[in-house]
Structure 1
Amino acid sequence: MVTLADVARHAGVSASTVSYVLSGKRSISASTRERVQRSIDELGYRPHAGARALASSRTGILALMMPLRTDLYLPVMLEIAMAVTTTARAHGHDVLLLTGEEGPEAVRRVEGSAIADAMIVMDVGLDDPRLPQLKRAERPAVLIGMPGDTTGLDCVDLDFEAAGARCVDHLADLGHTQIAVLGEPPAVYARGTGFAERTLAGLRAAATERDTGLLHRPVEGTYAAVSATLGRIFEERPATSALVVQNEAAVEPLLAVLRQQGRAVPEDVSVVAVCPDQVARHASVPLTAVGVPAQDMGRLAVERIVARLGGQAPSGPLLIAPELTVRESSGSRRGHGRR
């Protein structure tokens, strides 16, 4: 690895002169500056984060706060993180991944140090405890997710409320009047996680508007949990003819339980999901679904951070319109249900 001392020897100057050229803190003659820069280029020297910070008060690093929780679908989180990383590199930034569940303390650590220029925050709750700290922070932040109050915040997210409504509208258009929702694990709702709560709000509002019965049940993504929950649903609402699932881990257990019960999809029960396209496409019955645009969410978050670092004020919430793709799992209510 080429060091600052190597550059100094190559250019025939002192190490402090190279440091001054990098930091701009002292006046250096044009000829010396050119000689040092030529040595930097020829040797392929890359200043470390500290040197870059001295030169520009910037580290070139973005902090991505992505708590790794067992009750969230990790592949989606990682897809967003990959989109953040690749987009950041395209703009000349590296990404520091913070995976701990530290809440406001993580924000304070980034804000109180020189480890990153800006923050991208995931797993956002409606009343997220990090929000007061983020609003006071001097370093810009963008949320991938939508809190209850977006005042003064940059946010990027799928319009999950509209996504829930699209699911109900699709099923109601097919004649379904009793719909059950298999949601995220209970802990996700207990935290007030934004995407889950907003989807549920959209489902309920559309069901009311379409005069459709709606039963919501949180569920863990295991076969046993899905089987027990589905049994209770059909016991409580035997006329249920359609299911909406927003829990990627529960998709295959759900389809397996339906097969075990002798319920054909979509002949007996229609199934619609809110999930990534790859999950919907590769399910044992390809699912009609509203896709989760993970790559777009990560890319747009970085583009907003870059704009903020360039001096742009917060732009407020950016909601991505949901797209529902009809596949093999949804059909007309005629002949559905077991009464």
Structure 2
Amino acid sequence: MSPASTSPGPDGAEQPAKRPDMVTIADVARHAGVAVSTVSYVLSGKRVISAATRERVLASVRKLGYHPNAGARALASKRANVIALVLPLRSGMHLPVLMQFATAVVTTARQFDHDVLLVTADEGAAGLRRIAASAMVDGIVLMDVEMRDARVPLLRRLGRPSVLIGFPADAAGLTCVDLDFYRAGQACVDHLAALGHRRIALLGAPAVVYDRDTGFAHRTRAGFTETARRHGINAHAQPCEESYEAIRRELAGLLERDPDLTGLVVHNEAAVGQVLTALRSLGRAVPDDVSVVAICPDEVAERADPTLTSVLIPAEEVGRQAVSLLMRKLEGDPVPEATLLDPRLTVRASTAPAATGPNGVVGAAGAGR
């Protein structure tokens, strides 16, 4: 018999090899010299197994090419080994950032041996009811959460475990995870205040996002305006659309109303580059005349010219945490109701001390250009 057609057992004796798709959990147990239940516990993680035994089992899994049968696993556990990611694609949402969240959810779910059903239709509570009524998924991760989200009362009643990426106004009895957007807005203002800026503005999400009462947009604006008030800073806050023409028009109007404005916070990933271009066209240099802070992914901040001081949107970490929390709920383990990630501000080239005029008045330089 050729070497390719044999496999050594625990006593070193050669045994006929099987195709990987025919290898069973009993074959793995026999090869590793352990009970079938031990192999099951190593693969499921449901019981603590010694490191030496675990490594011996995993070595046998690799050697034999064993792949657990998903259908059999689901029948045995009464699970589908699938979770739903409910991500309604609505206007005003920046798709590249959304895909970072989705990729993190999918990648982490695979580490837990789960697949992901991506639900992009905006069906509201009816869509959740349809998903939960089927046997398609074990749990739900919900995105684009509104302050008074119509889906929330149903989530509290569903028999399926769920995790929200975002916070409604009333999060009691739910499991939610997100960046602390209130403190993100606060961090941006604190940074500009420390540089001496006394007249600043927030260019936020598109108006439709505020109109939907989306949680992250409202919390960022609240953190911005309340922190500016505490610092005694003159502050404007307004929505920001995504087209260059609209952005330039909004900036021109803002600078006409407040020509001494020296600081901008941009919470609109799709608009960041357009804002910088529009400022240049209006005769304002960054950061000499206007300092700009963005709330966005690092790659957006690092691609800009100049590179942007920014608060990171940690899409990958939020996605990982959401799935990990859901898996713990599926196992019946206790989880915290609220997980808020601390904002991380990175200083780059787009912020500098506030410009002063010849009389030492902050904001006078560049005024009236």
TM-score with structure 1 length normalisation? 0.85
Which residue does the alignment assign to 2:153? 132
Match of 1:282 in 2: 303
- The answer for the alignment partner of 1:221 in structure 2 is 242
**Equivalent residue for 2:93, pick from 72, 76, 84:** 72
Q: Does 1:143 align with 2:143?
A: no
- Find the aligned partners of 1:45 and 1:247 in 2 and give their Cα distance: 44
With over 3 angstroms needed to count, the CA separation of the structure-2 counterparts of 1:293 and 1:43, relative to structure 1, is closer
Query: Is 1:303 the equivalent of 2:324?
Result: yes
What secondary structure is seen at the aligned counterpart in 2 of 1:165? helix
Alignment of 1:88-237 (within 5 A): 88-237=109-258
User: What is the RMSD computed on CA atoms of the aligned residues?
Assistant: 2.1
Query: In structure 2, how many angstroms separate the alpha carbons of the residues matched to 1:190 and 1:261?
Result: 29
- Partner of residue 78, structure 2: 57
Q: Distance in 2 between matches of 1:161 and 1:187?
A: 20
Paired residue type of 1:152:
G
Aligned residue for 2:306, secondary structure, equals coil
Work out the number of aligned pairs and report it: 304
The residue type paired with residue 98 of structure 1 is V
The residue aligned with 2:47 is: none
Residue ranges of structure 2 left out of the alignment (5+ in a row): 1-18, 24-62, 357-364
Q: Taking structure 1 as reference, are residues 104 and 314 closer, same or farther at Cα in structure 2, changes over 3 Å only?
A: farther
Give the percent of matched residue pairs that are identical in Structure 1 and Structure 2: 47
1:273 paired residue number:
294
Stretches of 4+ aligned residues off by more than 4 angstroms: 41-49
Which structure has the higher relative contact order (CA within 8 Å, separation 6+)?
A: 1
Deviation at 1:44, TM superposition (A): 6.5
Deviation track 1:44-94 (CA, whole Å, cap 9, x = no partner) reads 676455x54432210000100011223111111101111111111111111
Q: Is the 8 A contact 1:127 1:192 kept in 2?
A: yes
In 2, Cα distance between equivalents of 1:184 and 1:45: 46
Q: Which amino acid aligns with 2:286?
A: V
Alpha-carbon deviation of 1:129? 0.8
Indicate conservation of the 8 Å contact 1:217/1:229, yes or no: no
Q: Tell me, in whole angstroms, the C-alpha distance in 2 between the residues paired with 1:304 and 1:78.
A: 20
Task: Please state how far the C-alpha of 1:334 moved relative to its aligned partner.
Answer: 2.5
| Structure 1 unaligned regions, length at least 5 | 8-40
Mapped to 2, the partners of 1:228 and 1:196 lie a distance apart of 22
Give per-residue Cα distances to partners, 1:302-336, cap 9 Å, x unaligned. 11011001102442110000011000001111334
* Structure with greater Cα Rg: 2
2:367 counterpart of 1:338: yes
Question: Would you say the 8 A contact 1:142–1:153 is kept in 2?
Answer: yes
Equivalent residue for 1:318? 339
CA distance in 2 between counterparts of 1:306 and 1:279 reads 31
1:274 positional shift: 0.6
2:88 and 2:264 map into 1 onto residues whose CA distance is 30
Q: Alignment partner of 1:64: what SS? A: strand
Secondary structure at the counterpart of residue 234 of structure 1 = helix
Distance in 2 separating the partners of 1:325 and 1:77: 22
